[in-house]
Every structure is written in C-alpha cells, then in structure tokens.
Structure 1
C-alpha cells in the first residue's frame, strides 16, 4: 500500500517547501545571474547584443534538452538524488565560469551548467505532484515557483551590484558559492520520496511517454503556452537593460539590476494564483493573469521611468501567476510517466527562453525597444488564444488514471 499524500500544514509539507525553496532559488539564481551582465560581456568581449545573449540562451537550450534525459533517469533512480546532484554541479560550474579567459570557454561552461541543472526543475514538479495531495498541490507548486522567483531576483540583483563595484567574475564566483550552500540545505531538508514508483526506463519509454502526452487534449496546448510565455518574459528582461543603460535613461549597472527586485511580485503572485486556481479552477484564472501581462507590456513603451518600471512589474506579476497555474495544471492532468509530462512542459519553457531570447537580439539591433515590444505583443497574443482554447478543455474522465499523486484535472 502506498503512503498517504502529504497535506498542507504537516511537518513533511514544511520540510518539502523549505527544500524546494532552496532548489528553486539555486537553479534560477545560477541560470539567470548572467542576464544583467550581458552588456558588460558585450563590452569586454566585443560582442553584439545577440551574441552576448548566448551566455543565457545556450544555458537554457542545454537545460531544455537535459530535462528529457533527466526525466528518464529520475523514473529509474528516483527524484531526490538527481535533484541534489544537479544543484551541486551547478554551483561548481558557476565557480569555474568566474575564471574563464575567453568567451568561448564561458559559453562551454554555461552550456554544461544548463545541462546539469536539468536534473532539478522537471523532477521537482514530478516530486511535488507525487508526494503532495491534490488539494494542496497548487499551494506547494506556488511555493516552489516563489523560491524560483526569489532566486532569479537575487541572482540578477547581486550580480549587477557586484559587477558594478568589482567585476562580473566576482559576481559569478559568489553566486557559485551560494549555489553550493543551497545544495547542502536542499539535501538535508527534503524527505525521501515515499510515493515514487520506478517507471519504464530508457529511451523506448521516453518515446512511448511523449506519444501518450502528445495525444492528450490539453497537454500540448500547455506546452505551447510555456514556450511563448517564457520566451517573451526572458526577452523583456534581456533587453530592457540595454534601453535603461542607454542615453534615453542613462542608469548605472546596479540600478538596472535592481529592476529584478520586481521578482518579489512574482513570489507573491505565484502563491496567490496557486491558491486562487485551487478554489476557482485553472480555466478561470489563466486568462485573467495573462491580461495583466499584456497591460504591463504596453506600459513599457512610455518614455517615463516610473511607467517603464510599473510595466515590467505588471508583466512579472502576470507571468509568474500564469506559470504557477499552468505548471500545476500539468501536474494534475498528466498520466504516468509524470516526470516526463513535467519535463516536456519545461522543455518548451526553456526552449522558448533560448529561441525567442536570441531572436529578440536581432529585433533590438534593428527595431529598438518598439520592435521588441511589437514582437512580444504578437507572441503574447498567440498565448492568449491558447488560453481561450484551454477554457473550453474538458476535464479528464473521472475514472481515468492520472499520474501518481496527481488527481484528474
């Protein structure tokens, strides 16, 4: 007989949320700490904006591929060991990146970092879906995404401040040390899986699982949604720095990095949206929070700094709320292999970050901020059409077997 699912308020629920907060923090702090450093990399290595964006895009592309491999390994060997190894290697690779002598070496280490970090995000979503009871899953997923938002904020802000007063190398060195500490806290806090059952391993199982999820009426739409939304969100933060550092606003590097404090809004909105979706249903919440993103995007067109900051804040609030709703929907809807469904969602999530983030570099060079907003607006319009399509999605049949730990949704 399988162990009972963990409910909100229990000791194990608190331990899981603590560990996942460190996991989300480490993954996104290490991954995105280079984002505000892109103008400095462009200056030091004589790069174009599109070339400097590869320091992030190559990591997210490698991460996207790694997610599928990690899902296969986690189905055979378990969740906790793979996540802990991912966090440990991420910290070590970030430390090494601080000592690179040229841009090629930095890109190689950033690609390895992305690949190794793949052991955390998809496996974390699967772990939560297996261990947490359905009525508490939205809250728990929101807490994990809150840790991710804090990590993304902390990594960007700290890297900007340190690089402004010392160097981008010092910034990466400190981030690597923080990643190693987070790995230790994660290992000692996270309970061992009690509801995990090894699935079919190997790439034959991967092919079969991809086909099963692709035939679902809702999952492919959620995968497409993740590609579009993450691509637009990363692009906004990739290139808003170039605008704010330029002659229109003339801000310092540390001031531009401080813009990432707006991630605090994501920490709040992901938990809020998770609770709201548990009460009102994901279909009713998704379209609402995406409308907030669109309003924020339009505000960034103004030449007033307050309006730009408010627009980025609204976009951040809406994005993390949307991600919380969509990712928990995948966990509730997917049948086994559960980790693969989460991995596919995040595969498209990070692929969007890589592809759209890189392409927007060319748009920035030739169309400036107006061109970037036009492209992101078109992408967001496509995402809103998908959200409308999902509002009419029929729930899984009551007797259909959802993945372990994830009731039909």
Structure 2
C-alpha cells in the first residue's frame, strides 16, 4: 500500500532504514552482510551508535548478540524486542534488518512516553540484534538466540568454522564482538519481520499475527563414491557421488509433490562437489537438505521415504549416502495471550490483521520457549525473500512499526 502521509517519527525511521540499507549494498539493490564480516561489523557499529545516542546502554554478550538496554524500573525484568542484521549473500535489505530498526524506534518511542509520564511502566526495555540468524556463513542458523536460550552451548558455537576454516570465535574476535553482557531477566519478547510469503498480500491484510511455527528437519547429506576419469572409465564401473546426490535432490522435490496436501516444503542447497574438476567423476558430494511442514506426520513420512530413497541409491549406484540430522524443531505455538494482545493493537489502530504460521525459522522460535513472545509479520511483495528483489512498501513498514510500538507499550505496562 502506498500514498499514506508519514509522521515525523515515521519519516525518521524510514531515513534510518534507508541508511542501514546502504551498508553492504549490492548493485542490484540488495545487501551482502554475512555474520561477522566487515559489512556486518559496520552495521553493528551504526546500530551501537544509534542506540547510544538515543539513551540506550549498549552491551554485547559472549556469542556476539548486541543489546541496547533502557532501564525504566530499576530491578525489573525486561521486555526484549529485536531481530537480526546479518544477511544471506546477495540478499534482500529487509530480512531481519527491518525488525531491528523497527524495534529500536519502537522501544525508544515507548520509553519516551514513560519518561513523559504518559504511561506507567512495570518493566524495562531492551533491543537486540541477534548474531548469525541466517546461518549462511556459520551453521546452524539462529545461532545467537540458540546460545542465549541455552539450546546450543557457547563452546559448540565457538568451534563452528566457515568454508575457509575461520571459527566463530575467531570471526567475532576480529570484529571485536565478544563481550560479557549481564544477565537479562525477561518478562516478554516481541519480534517483527517481513513475511517472506504471500498470505498477507493475497488476503489484503496489513499485519500477520503469528500463532505458531511449521516443523522442520535439517540434514547434512554426504554421498561418497569413487574418483574416476570422465572419459575412459566404463559407465558400469562408475561410482558417481554427484549422480547419487542428484537423484536425492530429485527425490526430495518429488516428496514435496506427493505430500503437498500436508503441505511439505523441501530444499537442497550448498552443494560441495569434490574434487570438482571438469574431467573427474566426483568422489564426494556434501549438501544441505531440509524438510518443513506444519504436519508432524508428514515430516515423519518424508524422512522415512527420504531414507528409503538413500538406501535404494546406494544399492543401485554403488555409492554410500549418509543423512545426518543436524537440527530440527517441531510444530509449536506462540502464546495465545500474545496473539490476542497483538490483535487488539491492530484493531485499535484500524489495521487489518490475519493469523498466520511461520514457515521460516526466526529467533522468536527460540525465545518463545523461555518467555511469552509476540511475533508479527508485514507483507512481502510477491513473497520474494533471500533475493535482492525482496521488497516491502514504506507504508507497510510504518504500519508494522506502529503495531510493534503498541505491542511493546502494552507489554511494558504489564
């Protein structure tokens, strides 16, 4: 939606978001800001400066999560809000970053109302930029919030290496992002994000109120064959790891069609082919494969059929196929009270809302397990995401900011 007049505070938000989008900008209108790279360090510095200049106490914890704290009620727990600034390579500029910028502006607005005596807070406020949500440079995704919530140990996270052998610990040290933030007792969490789908756009809703998550199972797939010459080696003698991996890729896509009623989404990504020579039959292929569905039975069926396909590929093509489940989460609901609270804010603002499930993983899917959590979506044009063409209109961003501000205010006053 376009053409709405923006208040000065909304215009300031849009200017700040535009500046943030210039950091790590790509020629095609996206961004490239993978976790703990120079562009990530630059945007973290920008956020830290913005928070400090608006009265926040900026802290960084041991896994690089960046916090801005506003103490309104000494000794009280915090209402936390945020998302992530890191991106996929050549990604869109809205994914994650919108939620961080909106959270900073919303928290500042609520704090200003409290200090002007317009509301009486019971809780403090904090903004967070979670480290390595995307998981593109370092796997798994949602790393910072996983460590924060105790789902992943700090040492395990530190030991993860990127494709060049740089560990998380080394990368964080290089950008000066290992700190020792104090304990942060929480009374609630709120996150806003672009939808990355088309439900809101198709249904003409301005705001998505997330009621739960799809389940997901993620695998590291290793296919081992035998290196050989692509020319003279007899076809019957070949143990082609790339052929085996390709058949598994096709089977994963077929499963999505067979279980479309569930529905089931499947994907295979990040292929590593060795030795990756134009005249050598591949001896090993490593790739990532994930299954996603709101239906637990569909996930169970899909994994069983996938493993049966792997065994058949082994028998037929003389390769070995190993599927290691790296991480997973089940279908899980968000707080019913939080859903009702968010819908009430939308109604008060005259904004049409719609209940939706989240297909993607977000940091809120971790945080909701330790504190009551509200998750909000704003529309994504044509459902495009993880793509430089990703787009959300200014008016939709501003509408989301208004809802997030209302949600934080209600959570803050308890």
- Shorter-chain TM band: under 0.3
* Structure with the larger helix share: 1
Q: Which has the larger radius of gyration?
A: 2
- Looking at secondary structure, tell me which structure has more strand per residue: 2
Report the TM-score when normalising by structure 1: 0.25
